[in-house]
């Protein structure tokens, strides 16, 4: 069976429950002919949720959450839904479950997964190097095909209300197009809440949420929102010096003068080395045509007759490699976690048209 291809690399320490492809530089791989044939033929309005849960060390728990997005309590299949990927990192103790469905179905599927996650994960017992504030830490809704950002915001608000109804003790903040009052981005809301701090420094009683109960350490605080697609791209440095990693992460952030547009970055000690973890946001603003490397700087795609762009993972890798070289160190590898927006769309179309609900099991090393 042929599947659409993405471009990925991964350093040896990156964990996944499907087999991995490993190399030391990113490779661009074209979509297959089969993908092109299935693309745009379904006529469905599609959206994706990259569900971030605060558990990676119990495979059975994470897979149970994934299956809850696909089946109800009686084992009946949720229609037009697929789980494309499960990525888990032991050191982070964090998993990303890629759920894709029609705009009409994704809300119910995601709420079902969140209910299972809240039942299975106790944030007060969580230990990991990645920041988090919630047992279910992040519920972002991204448009894939035929869905506007405003519609995704509506879906996200419905998800938040559904979560609060099913789990009255949970606490939720809204961001992006789900945040009707301020349209604050995820990063802005996280800074307001102290998400980037050590959990021991946070006083839950002082946190103000948008939906649900006052925060507790059992459930924590969950971010639910909608935005243009966000990828995760991690670059591992051949060093144990976290100070260098933090300097590089600061240099490439979009908030930094001369940083990379749409890129949020943090540095973590990871499996004996240092990893630069990047959120790569899509944006609609005019592009800067200048380029400091021979690598394509931005990649563009269309959604609902609008053009979005994001920083090329190849360019991110090249910028980090250059900054690392100034410190006399190399990079060990780069990992694109999951999918680019284009490949997420085409893979969703493929999985739904072939009735593959548990798509993550069929990947056989093509994806991370």
Q: What is the CATH number of the domain that holds 284?
A: 3.30.70.670
**Measuring CA to CA, which residue among 350, 340, 309, 324 is closest to residue 37?**
350
In a domain, 7, yes or no: no
The DSSP bridge pattern shows strands 273-281 and 331-337 to be unpaired
Identify whether residues 50 and 148 lie together within a single domain.
yes
Low-confidence ranges of the chain (pLDDT < 70): 1-42, 286-295, 364-368
Residue 364 has a pLDDT of: 53
Task: Specify the pLDDT at position 5.
Answer: 35
Which tokens in the block code for residue 107? 């809300």
- Supply the pLDDT for residue 289: 47
Evaluate whether residue 244 is within a structural domain.
yes
Query: Residue 328 sits in which domain range?
Result: 230-336
If asked whether residues 249 and 236 sit together in one domain, one would say: yes
Asked if residue 366 lies in contact with residue 21, where contact means CB atoms within 8 angstroms, the answer is yes
Q: Does residue 15 form part of some domain?
A: no
In this structure, what token pair is assigned to residue 365?
């090393």
Let me know whether 277 and 308 are in one domain: yes
Both 203 and 234 in one domain: the answer is no
The pLDDT value given to residue 43: 76
Please check whether residues 177 and 46 belong to one and the same domain: yes
Please tell me the predicted confidence (pLDDT) of residue 3.
37
Share of the chain above pLDDT 70, in %: 84
In a domain, 20, yes or no: no
Shared domain for 129 and 203, answered yes or no, is: yes
Residue 368 included in any domain: no
**Token reading at 287:** 């592009």
Phi, psi torsion values for 157, nearest 5 degrees: -65, -40
Number of domains in the chain: 2
Together in a domain, 318 and 351: no
Convert the pLDDT of each residue in 209-249 to its tens digit.
Answer: 999 999 999 999 999 999 999 999 999 999 999 999 999 99
Residue 120 sits in the same domain as residue 162: yes
The answer to whether residues 65 and 120 touch, using CB atoms and an 8 Å cutoff, is: yes
Task: Please check whether residue 120 lies inside any domain of the structure.
Answer: yes
Statement to judge: residues 158 and 87 lie in one domain? yes
The reply to whether 37 and 80 lie within a common domain is yes
- Please tell me whether residues 53 and 115 are part of one structural domain: yes
Is 243 within the bounds of a domain? yes
* 200 & 88 share domain: yes
Contacts of 154 (CB under 8 A, 6+ apart): none
Residue count (the chain): 368
pLDDT score recorded for residue 41: 55
Tens-digit pLDDT profile for residues 121-164: 999 999 999 999 999 999 999 999 999 999 999 999 999 999 99
Q: How far is CA 269 from CA 7, 48, 128, in A?
A: 25, 30, 11
Residue 306 lies in a domain: yes
What pLDDT shows up at residue 206?
Answer: 85
Residue 191's CATH number: 3.30.990.10
CA–CA gap between residue 342 and residue 115 (Å, rounded)? 29
pTM of the model: 0.87
Can you give the pLDDT at residue 194?
87
């Amino acid at each position: 069976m042929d599947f659409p291809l993405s471009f990925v690399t991964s350093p040896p320490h990156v964990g996944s429950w499907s087999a991995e492809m490993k190399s030391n530089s990113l490779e661009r791989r074209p979509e297959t002919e089969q993908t092109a044939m299935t693309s745009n033929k379904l006529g469905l309005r599609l959206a994706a949720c990259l569900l971030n849960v605060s558990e990676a060390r119990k495979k059975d728990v994470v897979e149970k959450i994934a299956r809850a997005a696909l089946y109800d309590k009686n084992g009946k299949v949720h229609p037009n839904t697929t789980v494309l990927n499960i990525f888990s990192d032991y050191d982070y103790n964090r998993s990303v479950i890629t759920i894709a469905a029609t705009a009409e179905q994704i809300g119910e599927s995601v709420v079902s997964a969140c209910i299972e996650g809240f039942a299975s994960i106790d944030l007060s017992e969580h230990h990991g190097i990645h920041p988090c504030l919630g047992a279910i830490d992040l519920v972002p809704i991204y448009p894939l095909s035929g869905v506007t950002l405003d519609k995704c915001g509506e879906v996200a608000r419905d998800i938040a209300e559904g979560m609060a109804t099913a789990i009255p003790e949970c606490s939720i903040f809204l961001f992006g197009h789900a945040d009707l009052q301020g349209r604050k981005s995820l990063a802005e809301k996280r800074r307001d809440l102290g998400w980037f701090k050590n959990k021991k420094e946070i006083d839950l009683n002082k946190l103000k949420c948008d939906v649900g109960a006052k925060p507790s350490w059992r459930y924590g605080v969950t971010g639910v929102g909608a935005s243009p697609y966000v990828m995760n791209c991690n670059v591992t440095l051949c060093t144990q010096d976290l100070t260098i990693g933090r300097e590089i992460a600061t240099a490439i952030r979009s908030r930094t003068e001369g940083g990379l547009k749409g890129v949020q970055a943090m540095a973590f000690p990871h499996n004996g080395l240092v990893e630069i973890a990047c959120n790569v946001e899509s944006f609609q603003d005019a592009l800067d045509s200048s380029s400091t490397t021979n690598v394509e700087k931005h990649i563009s795609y269309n959604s609902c007759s609008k053009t979005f762009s994001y920083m090329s993972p190849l360019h991110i890798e090249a910028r980090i490699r250059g900054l690392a070289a100034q410190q006399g160190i190399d990079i060990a590898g780069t990992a694109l976690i999951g999918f680019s927006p284009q490949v997420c769309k085409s893979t969703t179309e493929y999985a739904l048209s072939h009735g593959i609900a548990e798509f993550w099991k069929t990947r056989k090393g093509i994806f991370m």
